Amino acid sequence: MSKKMKVATINHYKQTNLKIQSIQKPTPASNDVLVKIMTTSINPIDTKIMAGDLKLLLNYQMPLILGNDFAGEIVAIGKNVKTYKVGDSVYGRPQKQRIGTFAEYLSVSKDDIALMPKNLNYQEAAAIPLVALTSYQALHDLIKLKPNQKVLIQAGSGGVGTIAIQIAKQLGAYVATTTSPKNFELVKSLGVDEIIDYHSQNFEDVLNDYDAVFDTIGGETLKKSFKIVKPGGQIVSVSGLPNADFATNYGLSYWKKLLLKFLTRDLTKLEKQNNIKYNFLFMKPSGSELSTITKMIENKKVRPIIDRTFEFKDINKALTYSRSGHAKGKIIISIND
């Protein structure tokens, strides 16, 4: 077996394309497993890291192997690993300081993975970890969505949106979403109760008295969300700016906390004016929560939505397609599959 593996890297921020090269294959530490990655997926965080947009929160050494979730087969285990064995099919999202799923192999903590759903293949499984954990943590952990509460999920046909809709319905919520007419049938099939055509309608003019908004767009769209949420409600964003509360909880330095407090002063003002809680979500890897999501998938309550699959050698074409913003669901990269 070769001791080398192919990886896709950047050497500096603002690098447009990934470079495929050969490096030494990792050896799993005592609490890690070594996974032969069959498939991975493109996520917005990949292009944000490339652009240097997350330097305030994440300090990476270069060259950097990109990639934030995967599905694959365990080929070696660390001495302390008892819950998994060689040959297990697993999927997961590694810790933010240990990313690198655009690779043929990955050493990952046993706590950040779960057994793959039995009813999914590798391509389908790779579409799940990051977006499902993001959605679950937004809707279940932060918003604590309850049956019959009303939630708006922005961009319902996207990678996060398609999964978030399904999880919100599993939590018993009334779900509205924004999308274009060509995607109406897709989001209807996922269980959406109300659809806003963002080409011809302003969601803030149509919706009102909502318990929560899950924002995946940020900017002015995020600010408009305060118009539809009732007092005491919540807005969770994965695309807005982190605020001072996040900086404190995340353990950022005092000057970064002051900077984020200044940058989010408009959001803080809207919070106070409307009595609405704003949270920025930086999803945390969790094998246990991924196991909960696995049960939803095996019970056919949640299903992956895949736009298309690219070969590893065409990963830069996949990135270009991701940047277009036109993907319905997830973009998959086949590595060893």
pLDDT digits (tens, 9 = 90+) for 44-63: 999 999 999 999 899 899 99
Mean pLDDT within 197-211: 97
Q: Per residue in 106-121, pLDDT tens?
A: 999 999 999 999 999 9
Residue 95 is encoded by which pair of tokens?
């810790």
Nearest 5 degrees, angle CA 302-CA 303-CA 306?
A: 150
Average pLDDT over residues 246-274: 95
Count other C-beta atoms under 10 Å from residue 151's C-beta: 28
Residue 259 CB contacts under 8 Å (≥ 6 apart), including other chains: 56
pLDDT of 1 reads 58
Q: How far apart are CA 200 and CA 214, in angstroms?
A: 21
Is residue 326 predicted with pLDDT exceeding 90?
A: no
pLDDT for the residue numbered 337: 82
Q: Is the pLDDT of residue 310 over 70?
A: yes
Report the distance separating Cα 112 and Cα 283, nearest Å: 12
Instruction: Extract the runs of DSSP E, i.e. beta strands, from the chain.
Output: 4-10, 19-24, 32-42, 64-65, 70-77, 89-92, 105-109, 113-115, 150-153, 174-179, 194-197, 210-215, 229-237, 277-280, 306-311, 330-334
Tokens 């708006």 correspond to what residue?
152
Angle at 230 between CA 228 and CA 231, to 5 degrees: 135
Quick one: pLDDT at residue 325?
84
In the predicted model, is pLDDT for residue 145 greater than 90?
yes
What's the pTM?
0.96
Q: What is d(CA 68, CA 253) in angstroms, rounded to the nearest whole number? A: 25
| Res 2: pLDDT | 73
| The predicted structure's pLDDT at residue 247 | 93
Tell me the pLDDT tens digit for each residue of 271-295. 999 999 999 999 999 999 999 999 9
Mean of the pLDDT values across residues 310-315?
Answer: 98
Statement: residue 128 has pLDDT above 80: yes
Domains and CATH numbers, the chain: 4-128+304-334 (3.90.180.10), 131-280 (3.40.50.720)
Contact indicator for 145, 212 with CB cutoff of 8 Å: yes
pLDDT, one tens digit per residue, over 1-22 is 579 999 999 999 999 999 999 9
Average pLDDT, the chain: 96
Q: Among candidates 277, 261, 181, which has minimal Cα distance to 226?
A: 277
**Region 168-190: what's the mean pLDDT?**
97
Model confidence pLDDT, tens digit, residues 85-99: 999 999 999 999 999
d(CA 16, CA 22): 20
Q: What is the pLDDT of residues 232-253, one digit of tens each?
A: 999 999 999 999 999 999 999 9
